[in-house]
Amino acid sequence: MSDRPNPATEARRAAVALLDKVLGEGLLLAECQAQILERLEPADRARAQRLALEVLRALERADRVLEKHLRKPPALFVRNALRLGTVELCSGGAAHGVVNDIVNLVARHRRHGPLKGLVNAVLRKVAEEGPAEWAKLRIPRLPKWLRAPLAQAWGAEAMLAIEAAHYQGAPLDLSAKPGADLTDLGGVLTPTGSLRLTEVGQVSALPGYAAGTWWVQDAAAALPARLLNVQAGEKVLDLCAAPGGKTLQMAAAGADVTSVDISEGRLARLQENLARTGLTAQVVVGDVMAQEGQYDAVLLDAPCSATGTIRRHPDLPHAKDGAGFGALIELQAQMLAHAWSLVRPGGRLVYCTCSLLPDEGECQIEDALDMFPDAVIGEGVKTMPGIDPAWITEEGGLRLRPDYWPEIGGMDGFYMAELIKSEA
């Protein structure tokens, strides 16, 4: 008999390791998954990621089911293993396979192996009683540090709808080259023109990937470049460009694009996508604040809290506590002021963030309109296809939320606005 570990067990072991990093060390999945998953086969890597994401989305429910079967919370590794088993059992997982696998996972742990009996007893109880309890539990809520400001901004009813969207997760959206035929992919077109897929296997195996006819980009993230509406031959600057979806959109429109980001590693993905799609842009590893020159159009996707992407990144509320938001907001204001200096007279700038916090969106543009006497708000949001007029904000920007388009799977939270510079 082979001593090779069962692939399903290894995927679950990796998922628990990811949970330990997020819930124990406050790391984001993006910061730790490469090292943890590097030895797994692609299918097992994908399964481990999926399991970790499912547990993080359902963490409140899992803990509620488990608390009646535990006198006190066990060590984090054991608790995360129990959480994983609970989520699987309450989501239709086969009891025998799930329980045995989680018990074996704990049994093989050098320190916590003696707790395998506890794990076995608890999960067998969960297998019997958990699914019925699970169905009665509320949609998991965001941590108070984040829920409070979002509820204040959007109201209690909207907050519940946003949390429901987070719990559902996110489909896969694609942006395509102009004129590309994506009918072989199936899916549905969103109101703004992105192609949305709900059943996705390996992305690189989808029709058109190798030919470079499309790239992955959430429908909301595709709108800032559409708002900027670059024309062929225009000199365009994409600031904080990685991973590069907006650069690809503008390059596909025929613009002369310079893409700047401080992360060489993240820009590598852009370079790969440029090569795959056959598009061209000048890629610069550098600080936004060090850029010089004059451009017809500038797009600034400023560093932010990323609170608009929680439906795809449920680790974020557990890995952060809001402590750095003040510094981010100050940095956004500095970047916006510098980006404005790079816009030629008569040119335009689109500012955007994937945040649900008005301080990172609406408030920044209100302040910019007060600070920049040569700036007026653009009217492009009023004519963009697929935009509900109710999404246009008082100062003239566009506010998107995860609970919009609930019938087709929602969208990321985003804010964007266009500023036009006077000729004088």
- Would you say residue 1 has pLDDT above 80? no
List the beta strands (DSSP E) in 190-294. Answer: 195-197, 214-216, 235-239, 256-261, 282-285
Query: Are the CB atoms for 419 and 348 separated by under 8 Å?
Result: yes
Q: Which long-range contacts (CB under 8 A, 24 or more apart) does 25-32 make?
A: 26/318, 26/319, 26/320, 27/319, 28/313, 28/315, 28/316, 28/319, 29/53, 29/313, 29/315, 30/313
pLDDT of residue 122: 97
- Provide mean pLDDT across the span 324-335: 95
Peptide bond into 243 cis (omega under 30): yes
Average pLDDT score over residue span 388-392: 97
Q: Is 333 exposed, middle or buried (0-12, 13-18, 19+ CB in 10 A)?
A: middle
- For 53, other C-beta atoms within 10 Å of its C-beta total 19
Quote the pLDDT of residue 271.
Answer: 96
Which whole number is the average pLDDT over 321-334? Answer: 94
Catalytic residue among 32, 240, 354, 363: 354
Catalytic (active site) residue 354:
yes
Q: For residues 339-366, give the mean pLDDT.
A: 98
Mean pLDDT over the full length of the chain: 94
Tell me the average pLDDT across 402-423: 97
pLDDT tens profile 37-72: 988 988 899 899 999 999 999 999 999 999 999 999
The answer, yes or no, to whether residue 147 has pLDDT greater than 80, is yes
Q: What residues are paired with 239 via a beta bridge?
A: 260, 300
Q: Is the model's pLDDT at 2 over the cut of 50?
A: no
How far the first Cα of the chain sits from its last, in Å, is: 80
- DSSP 8-state code for residue 4: P
Q: Is pLDDT at 333 greater than 60 in this prediction?
A: yes
Lowest mean pLDDT among 320-329, 386-395, 413-422: 320-329
Q: Look at residue 317 in the predicted model and tell me its pLDDT.
A: 94
Helix-strand-coil percent breakdown of the chain, rounded to 5? 50, 15, 35
* For residues 193-208, average pLDDT: 88
The answer on pLDDT for 250 being more than 80 is: yes
Residue 402: name the closest of 413, 388, 393 by CA.
413
Task: Say what the pLDDT of residue 200 is.
Answer: 78
Q: What is the pTM of this model?
A: 0.93
Q: Could you give the percent of the chain with pLDDT greater than 70?
A: 99
Q: How far apart are CA 375 and CA 364, in angstroms?
A: 13
Taken in order of first residue, the domains within the chain and their CATH numbers are: 7-136 (1.10.940.10), 172-421 (3.40.50.150)
